[in-house]
A and B are shown apart, each in its own frame.
Chain A
Amino acid sequence: MAYPYRHEKEVRLMSEAFGDPAARTIEGWRARGGYQGIARALEIGRDATVADVKASGLRGRGGAGFPTGVKWSFMPKDGTRPHYLLCNADESEPGTFKDREIIRWTPHQLIEGCLVGAYAIGASHCYIYLRGEFFEATQVLAKALEEAYAAGLAGKDILGSGVEIDVTLHVGAGAYICGEETGLMSSLEGRRGEPRIKPPFPAAVGVFGMPTTINNVETLAAAAHVARHGGEWYRQWGTEKSTGTKLFCVSGHVNRPGNYELPLGFPLMELIEDVCGGMRNGAALKAVIPGGSSVPIMDAGECVSCELCYEGVEAAGSMLGCASVVVMDETADIVKQVRRMADFYAHESCGQCTPCREGTSWAARILRRIEDGRGTEDDLDTLMQISEQMTGTTICVLSDSLAAPIISSIQKFRNDYLALIRRGERVGAA
């Protein structure tokens, strides 16, 4: 067996070839049905492709969940200025590890998605902004891209259609904030990766001042399948508002962590108990972060009936985000983990907006003091207020992303904090 994380309940549209080295090559990928999506898109035309993706209900997989077809339809149609597609492969949300798997196992899947997206928005150039740390995955993608160019699947006159789409790999250099779409544009332009105020929106004034669409790796990979099979086909999975399949990145205290591609709406507890082989050492579930470190932490009670779709997780009090499920058992030290997240956000804040620049590092210092047993109960009130002051007050949502785990952890795991504050006792070891 090649890829160790497999489960019968999975619906593997994007992940079927994970762990299959033969699927990396262009021959291998074509043998598995690759590049039929772009062929069909070129056949039915740009507008029909956008309509298909709209009809599919596909939502952005980078975290915000914005309908992809609608986003594509924002792009101007006049075509007097160059349009750009940016593929966001700067995967760095803690808990998320799906895009790297797509790139290193199925590089042609991503290239095809980029071609479909670029064609649909009228872009003749697509930049794939790769996380700098992804040396190995990037080399796989580079090789695949050269194969695609050699096969006439990229560059001038794609598949004899007269359509020209160039694809360029662009490697970042270590900054979480470049995963934010306007930060990514700044970085691609050779600037500090500082997010920009919207409006103007990227579809009007994007990278290099031109109309731009930014899509996540998984979104484009899914779009390639939609382009091949049509919008209605994709709706057979998932819920009314969250269609299709999603890669769930499960990490933490489960027996079989990994990437699982499941229909949206899949029950959280079934994911943990069945698909992931249950809790490690049979320990009790304490908390779950369902969508990457930027979303509110759920306690065990909230997990019970939670369905993993955009609306389902929202109903449970959190957000699906990029479906990065971090599972914590009773040994988890919530205060330490929240402090570690605060350190992360303080480290990654770009420093433009004051609430984020000052708030994240201040919160991290307070949390460190509490962790060291020198906190007071007033600190919890201060943390709550700082978090509120960091929510909705900045250009991007990086500081909101720290506020969410702080607020939710104090609300749901207050006793963990109080044990440290009152008695100097840590709850949990990890």
Chain B
Amino acid sequence: MPDNGRKPETVALTIDGREVVVPKGTSLLQAAAGAGIEVPHYCYHPGLSAPAQCRVCLVEVEGAPKLQPSCVTVAQDGQVVRTDSDEALEMRKGVFEFYLVNHPLDCPICDMSGECKLQDYVFAEGREHGRAHEPKRVFGRDDFGGDVLYYGDRCVMCTRCVRFMEEVAGDPRLTVVERGSRAVIDTFFDQGLEGASFAGNVVDICPVGALVSKEFLHKARAWDLDHTPSVCAGCSQGCNVELHTRDNLVQRLKPRENQEVNGHWMCDYGRESYEWINRPGRLESPQAGRGSRRKPTDWRDVLGRLHARLQELRGAEVIVIGSPLWPNEGLAALDALAQAAGQVSRRVFRSPRAQDEDPLPGFPLLIRRRDLAPNVDGAGLLGFDRDGSDVGEGGLDGVAAHDGILLVLGDELRDQSEEFGASAALFVYLGTHDSPAAANADFVLPVTNFAEQEGTFVNAQGRVQRFQQALRPPGTARPAWLVLGALAAALAGNGPPPSRADGAFAALVAAHPAFAGLDYDVLGVAGAPLADAGAATAAAAGQRAP
């Protein structure tokens, strides 16, 4: 193939005996990582500048007079690099010994234990016994404000946190004070990280247990946590995250790298907005009957009765209330059922909105959006219109007294009275929690929240992003798409309903041209933009306008 100059230039080098080909300009550390070789490092972070000061990424480069910091040494053609030569290992062993001279060795009470890079590296490459017998320097603990607590004695002084606040957050509230072995990270006296909306990232990027989350303090051990790839449900940015779970509860959120969406970062609002997932008092089994006649039942019974009722009312006017906390698959199935059941007069959702956006200056793609729900844009593409106020209440004019079919998914109707839906011919409420306004529901169906199922959201960039199931559903709760899809298929009589999430996604792609061309497997954990993401975003923007 002729080289038209577009092909990126590459260099070929040897790392630990392996041939590696990387684009020109790649650092040795990245080149090694690409070949599956992890060179220890602290100060280097792919999202920050590289000061080359931690001195644990030193490797041997043939022909160089001394060991080279692999984080800033650029790979050259024909270079021969050894990350594990005797000299490199000996030198790193020495550097790790220095790290422990003043370290309190308090792993048993340290939150980072189990995922600490000092622990890992020293275990892998350090000396078996330290030789430092001198009294240790003591800094103690410092409350940095916000959710961040600093243990100076555990600090490796990599300055990632300082550089994050300066380079990425654009809000240099952290600094190194003093110098030499008295150097320590600090704020401007008692003015800390309060109100800094991205400061939680400093806890993530701290390679050791120096910066920890107050909220997570002593809550769980790292090795007890399961990590599930997911998407933050805090706003319509859809930052890629991992849900860290234990005992079937979400314990914390950690950002997952996606350079198209959130880089390595996420905002504190999203990070802290997960307690609703763990909210107790869940609906665990289907119920049928209004008010005092309400009785628990099972899925076979309830679906049979609901199907029969929908058959009776076929052709009636249908009002649909969805929720942008639910994935596309559930909303699409809700729409499909409504269309199969009768004449859909309104599809609405209500959702809270912030006063303004909050961008991350050093990574402008990442914006804490005004829409404080993950699938506002998906709901818009699926035909749902915003209703109600910026606190997610109000609106729904005339809905309470609607006399046709009323289908509600996910909206708990907290602002509605117990009279809501009293005149409806059929009122179906699908949700996670019972609600006073659902008193008149003929059927109350327990469905899973997004963390208890897999599925997709569409973010504000028009990007379709998959998340995986992190939690077991309570009782017999089922994904909304499964319940609604079965009913819709039965009513429409068009073949078997999807039984898996990929099928549900395929069904929505078939029904909604905006999603054309997307494949569930291809989405992977990184997601993909809609074919016409620009138009989708514009549509969503128009739809968001007051």
Contact = CB atoms under 8 A, between A and B. Distances in A.
Interface of A: 175, 177, 192, 196-197, 346-355, 357-362, 365-366, 369, 382, 385-386, 388-389, 392-395
B94 A358 contact: no
Nearest to A195: B53
A94 to B, nearest CB: 16
B67 A354 contact: no
B190 to A, nearest CB: 22
Nearest to B156: A354
Nearest to B135: A365
Given A197-B52, A197-B72, A354-B157, A349 B180 contact: yes
16 contacts: A175-B179, A197-B51, A197-B72, A346-B180, A346-B181, A348-B180, A351-B157, A351-B182, A357-B181, A358-B98, A361-B181, A369-B134, A385-B94, A389-B91, A389-B94, A389-B97
Given A369-B134, A389-B95, A358 B179 contact: no
B91 A197 contact: no
A353 B157 CA distance: 9
A352 B51 contact: yes
- The 10 A-B pairs at the shortest CB distance, nearest first, are namely A389-B94, A351-B183, A361-B181, A358-B98, A349-B180, A352-B53, A365-B134, A197-B52, A392-B66, A351-B179
Contacts of A394: 55
Interface of B: 51-56, 58, 66-67, 69, 72, 91, 94-95, 97-99, 101-102, 131-132, 134-135, 137, 156-157, 159, 176, 178-183
Contacts of A388: 94
A119 B31 CA distance: 43
A361 B98 CA distance: 10
A386 B179 CA distance: 20
Given A348-B180, A354-B54, A392-B67, 4 more contacts: A351-B157, A357-B183, A365-B135, A388-B94
Contacts of B182: 351
Nearest to B91: A393
B97 A395 contact: no
Contacts of A177: 179
B56 A360 contact: no
A339 B267 CA distance: 49
B95 A360 contact: no
Given A360-B181, A389-B98, A393-B91, A192 B176 contact: yes
Contact of A354 (B55, B134, B135, B137): B55
A209 B134 CA distance: 42
B486 to A, nearest CB: 61
Contacts of A382: 131
B104 to A, nearest CB: 14
A175 B180 CA distance: 11
B179 A349 contact: yes
A351 B102 CA distance: 14
Contact of B132 (A192, A362, A393, A395): A362
Nearest to B53: A352
B180 A361 contact: yes
A355 B180 contact: no
A177 B183 CA distance: 15
Nearest to B93: A389
Nearest to A177: B179
A358 B176 contact: no
- Most B CB contacts (10 A, CB to CB) among A350, A362, A392, A394 go to A362
B74 to A, nearest CB: 9
Nearest to A361: B181
A393 B58 contact: yes
Given A197-B72, A382-B131, A351 B55 contact: no
Contacts of B180: 346-351, 357, 360-361
B106 to A, nearest CB: 18
Contacts of A196: 51
Contact of B99 (A197, A347, A358, A386): A358
A132 B179 CA distance: 18
Contacts of A197: 51-52, 69, 72
Contacts of A358: 98-99, 101-102, 181
A151 to B, nearest CB: 41
B179 A353 contact: no
Contacts of A347: 180
Nearest to B100: A358
Nearest to A349: B180
A353 B55 contact: yes
Nearest to B94: A389
Contacts of A386: 94
Nearest to A369: B134
A349 B181 CA distance: 8
A221 to B, nearest CB: 31
B95 A355 contact: yes
A394 B68 CA distance: 10
A175 B183 CA distance: 14
Contacts of B51: 196-197, 352
A171 B156 CA distance: 32
A407 to B, nearest CB: 14
A346 B102 CA distance: 14
A361 to B, nearest CB: 4
Nearest to A378: B131
Contacts of B52: 197, 395
B99 A354 contact: yes
A192 B98 contact: no
A355 B98 contact: yes
B76 to A, nearest CB: 13
Contacts of B102: 358
Contacts of B99: 354, 358
A246 to B, nearest CB: 27
Contacts of A392: 66-67
A362 B58 CA distance: 22
Contacts of A365: 134-135
Contacts of A351: 157, 176, 178-183
Contacts of A357: 98, 157, 180-181, 183
B55 A393 contact: yes
A216 B271 CA distance: 52
B53 A353 contact: yes
A346 B179 CA distance: 9
Contacts of B58: 393
Contacts of B183: 350-351, 357
Interface-centre pick from A349, A357, A366, A369 (highest chain B CB count, 10 A): A357
Nearest to A368: B134
A393 B95 contact: yes
B205 to A, nearest CB: 18
A382 B95 CA distance: 14
Contacts of A361: 101, 137, 180-181
Contacts of B181: 346, 349, 351, 357-358, 360-361
Among B72, B97, B132, max chain A CB count under 10 A is at B97
Contacts of A362: 98, 101, 132, 134
